[in-house]
Structures are given as C-alpha cells and as structure tokens.
Amino acid sequence: MRQIVLLPFLLALSISSFGQNKSIPNKDLLTNSLHVMIDNIRDNYIYLDNKNVGIECIRKSYLSRLNNVQSREDMVLFFEYLLDEFYDSHLILSTNTNTSFRLHAPVYAQTKNETTIITNVWSSKIQNLKTNIIGAEILEFNGKEFSKAIDAFPTVCHNKKNDEVRNWIGNKILAGRYNESRILKLKLVNGGTKTIDLDDFKLTKNKGVLQSEKIDQIGIIRINNSLNEHKLIAKFDKTLDGLMDTKGLIIDLRNTINGGRCDIAISILGRFIEKRGDYQTIISTQRPINDLQPDQKCIYVEPRLKTYNQPVAVLVGKWTGSMGEGLAMGFDGLQRADIIGTEMRKLLGGMYGYTIQNTDLGYNISREKIFHINGTSRQDYIPNVLIVPSEIESDVVLKKGIELINRK
C-alpha cells in the first residue's frame, strides 16, 4: 500500500477506464494486496466505527472470492465491491470498467423497509423533465422489483435490512452500471404509473468554470462543477469584481457534485470577509503511530482582495458534494450568507488517495472528519433555509434566494 496524494474532494473527474487486456497479479500477490488494503482501511478510515460492518467478515469473504478474479475487469469489480461494503459514497476506486456502477444519478430516493420514494431530482441540471416524479414510488428497475434489486446488490458483509444501508444501496442501483440502461417503473403520487429512462434526461452542459448574470440588480454566480480547478479562482475574482455594485449576490453550488479543493474554497470565502475567520474544524487520523487520539485543528480564512459586503445567498442541493458542502457550511460559519436549498449530498470527510499494492488501481478513504465551527458534522449540516422538494415546474430555491436578498 502506498499513499499517493491528499484528495479533499471526490475524484469523479479523474476516474478512467483501463483496457481489459492488461495483466493482473497472481493469486498470492492479490491476497497480499487484499490484506494490506483491509489493514489500511481498518487503521485509517476514520468513520469505520460508525459503520455497521465487520472488517474481518470482509477479509474472510473476499479472500474466498479471489479465485473468481480472472481478468482486469474482475479485479476492478472485486475491489469496487469491497469498498461498497462500507456504504460510503466517498469511499471509491479511482478506476472503473464498463460494468462498474456510476457514482450518482440525476434523481435521489429514500428507501425505508420495502418502499423506495423519489424525494429529489436534479432540476437545476435536467432540461427535459416534464412529469413531476417527486413523491413517486419506484416499483421496478430494469424490469426487476426494486426491493429485490437491493437484496441482490453484490455486497455480503452488511445488513441489507438496515435502513441506512438499504437507502445507500437503493441510490447506488439508481446510479446504475455504465453499460446498462436505467429504466424505472414508477407509481406516481396521483396513482398512475409511468416508465422513465434516466438516460433520456438531457443535462445542461457546463459552459466554462462558472456562469453569471444579473437579475434586478442581484448578481448570480453559478459554479459549474469546477471547485477542483485552480482557474476558477481568477475567473471568480474577475466576475465578482464586475458585480461589486449589486445589492446582493447569489452563489449557486447546486452543480458541484464532484467536490473540489480546500484552497479554492478558502480563496472564494476570502472575498467576503474583512478579518480572519474560522472556516471549519477537522479531526484527522494523521498522528504518531503510537498515538491513538486524532489530532484536531482549525482552518482559517484570510481576507483577500476587495471585500464584497452586500448580502449573500448560497444555493445548495442534493448534488452539492464534498467541498461544495464545505464551502456552503463555511459561508454559514462565517455568518456571511444564508444557505438555501435541500439537504446536500452528505459525503463523509476529507479524502486521501492510496494505491492498491501490486496493482495500478487507486482508492480513496476518509481520514478526516469535518465539522461546522458550531460542532455540527458536515454530513449532518442542514441549510438554514431548508427547501423540501415538491415540484419541478419552477426554480423554488433560486426564487427564495432572490426573495431573501430583496428583504435585506
């Protein structure tokens, strides 16, 4: 096992598919790789104690599966399923195959017992959704009863009757495999049924790292899933400089699904304060090997360039992920913005990247717990103006942001 790089964001953009003709390690080498990886997760995954899964069950179960690894695709799926045992959407391989599961879907659902209900859609991104499917029950996925699809998910060491586990698996199924369709049979709120193909949704293409406009002297900056791109800082500065005469500003983080970098978030926050302020608190597993207590540190934001002093609203949603969540939480902690929207993605912690020994496969695990300065964990943080989705016809979140700015 080799630690390779600090990754404070989700690596979806860097995930790549490898050719299937590459050789794979022999069974002895893979056995060693498995033990080293599991030991690393045991020692460094800071959320392990929060997970209802047995690390030795995983070790035993996956050792017994090694004989089935006959190809590179088998090897990638082998380690992918191992990480899925922890039902953590931040705990991922940095590689995929055509048969791998995607990382997210354009809809989000809540599963309780045997019933799964769509509770959110990526309405700020989907162009062609005409039917309101919020509140609809998912009856089938690709022709299979949805509850049975959850039961059949290829993990073995967690309790699939547990609500948290079942909910995570349900959304993983909706994300779907890259090489398979995602056809849902739904029972709508009005009692009717409807079949939809998630891959028929047309998603708005990003135009640069951000887009901006003015509505009634309110500036709007939309971050286009670019919180991991350093060029965003210069573009954000230039855009904000052009909006300094506005009566208020809206920063839209609803398309930050891939997270980003802490230094970029801090650079953005620095334009909205006049003195150094607390950003977030981190508890980390980085510590001397004989010290079993995590270190705790606080990250600060320093003022940067000309300060924007007018009211600010930050828009968030279920596709606000990782550093997007941290940026919104930082605005709140600094008391520089109202945070408006639905619950966010609830991704766990700050990520570090590792290489699986004897392979060229990478994986990411959380070694940091991240908190609002008031002590609320990032995954438990709720926008102070919470919107419960109920319609798709209008942008309720944006309207609320404009309304709040106009009240100031």
Q: Which of 69, 96, 123 is the last residue of a domain?
A: 96
**Number of structural domains, the chain?**
3
Q: Are residues 53 and 84 in the same domain?
A: yes
Counting beta carbons within 10 angstroms of the beta carbon of residue 152, is it exposed (0 to 12), middle (13 to 18) or buried (19 or more)?
Answer: exposed
> What tens-digit pLDDT sequence spans the chain (408 residues)?
444 333 433 343 334 443 444 678 999 999 999 999 999 999 999 999 999 999 999 999 999 999 999 999 999 999 999 999 999 999 999 999 999 999 999 999 999 878 999 999 999 999 888 899 999 999 999 999 999 999 999 999 999 999 999 999 999 999 999 999 999 999 999 999 999 999 999 999 889 999 999 999 999 999 999 999 999 999 999 999 999 999 999 999 999 999 899 899 999 999 999 999 988 988 887 654 344 444 455 688 999 999 999 999 999 999 999 999 999 999 999 999 999 999 999 999 988 899 999 999 999 999 999 999 999 999 999 999 999 998 887 899 999 999 999 998
Q: Are residues 81 and 144 in the same domain?
A: no
Is residue 280 within 8 Å of residue 372, measured between CB atoms? yes
**162: Cα within 13 Å, side-chain hemisphere:** 14
Q: Which of 71, 96, 121 is the last residue of a domain?
A: 96
Please list, in sequence order, all residues whose beta carbon lies within 8 angstroms of the beta carbon of residue 175, skipping any fewer than 6 positions away. Answer: 101, 102, 103, 104, 105
Largest CA distance in the chain: 67
Would you say residue 372 lies in a domain?
no
Distances (CA, A) of 226 to 180, 236, 264: 28, 11, 10
Q: Are residues 159 and 90 in the same domain?
A: no
Would you say residue 139 lies in a domain?
yes
Measured in whole angstroms, the distance separating CA 129 from the mean position of its chain's CA atoms is 23
CATH of the domain at 133: 2.30.42.10
Is residue 105 within 8 Å of residue 174, measured between CB atoms? yes
Q: Are residues 322 and 259 in the same domain?
A: yes
Would you say residue 41 lies in a domain?
yes
Cα–Cα distance between 222 and 213 in angstroms, integer? 9
Q: Are residues 69 and 25 in the same domain?
A: yes
Would you say residue 373 lies in a domain?
no
Question: Which pLDDT does position 7 carry in this prediction?
Answer: 40
Question: Which pLDDT does position 95 carry in this prediction?
Answer: 92
Nearest to 6 by CA among 294, 354, 342: 354
Would you say residue 333 lies in a domain?
yes
Question: Which pLDDT does position 5 carry in this prediction?
Answer: 38
Q: Are residues 45 and 139 in the same domain?
A: no
Question: Which pLDDT does position 279 carry in this prediction?
Answer: 87
Q: Are residues 249 and 392 in the same domain?
A: yes
Q: Are residues 235 and 329 in the same domain?
A: yes
Q: Are residues 256 and 159 in the same domain?
A: no
Question: Which pLDDT does position 251 carry in this prediction?
Answer: 98
Whether the full predicted model's pTM is greater than 0.75, yes or no, is yes
Three-state secondary structure string covering the chain: CEEEEEECCCCHHHCEECCCCCCCCCHHHHHHHHHHHHHHHHHHCCCHHHCCECHHHHHHHHHCCHHHCCCHHHHHHHHHHHHHCCCCCCCEECEECCCCECCCCCEEEEEECCEEEEEEECCCCECCCCCCCCCCEEEEECCEEHHHHHHCCCCCCECCCCHHHHHHHHHHHHHCECCCCCEEEEECCCCCEEEEEHHHCCECCCCCCEEEEEECCEEEEEECCCECCCHHHHHHHHHHHCCCCCCEEEEECCCECCCECHHHHHHHHHHHCCCCEEEEEEEECCCCCCCCCCEEEEEEECCCCCCCCCCEEEEECCCECCHHHHHHHHHHHCCCCEEEECCCCCCCCEEEEEECCCCCCEEEEEEEEEECCCCCEHHHCCCCEECCCCCCCCCHHHHHHHHHHHHC
CATH of the domain at 252: 3.90.226.10
Q: Are residues 246 and 389 in the same domain?
A: yes
Residue 248 phi/psi, 5-degree rounding, is: -175, 165
Q: Are residues 282 and 394 in the same domain?
A: yes
Question: Which pLDDT does position 359 carry in this prediction?
Answer: 94
Would you say residue 353 lies in a domain?
no
Domain extent at residue 58: 2-96
Would you say residue 263 lies in a domain?
yes
Single-letter code of the amino acid located at 396: V
Question: Which pLDDT does position 22 carry in this prediction?
Answer: 61
Single-letter code of the amino acid located at 299: I
Would you say residue 305 lies in a domain?
yes
End-to-end CA distance of the chain: 54
Cα–Cα distance between 367 and 284 in angstroms, integer? 6
According to DSSP, the β-strands at 115-121 and 312-316 are unpaired
Cα–Cα distance between 266 and 253 in angstroms, integer? 15
Cα–Cα distance between 231 and 323 in angstroms, integer? 16
Q: Are residues 392 and 327 in the same domain?
A: yes
Q: Which of 152, 170, 200 is the last residue of a domain?
A: 200
Cα–Cα distance between 225 and 298 in angstroms, integer? 26
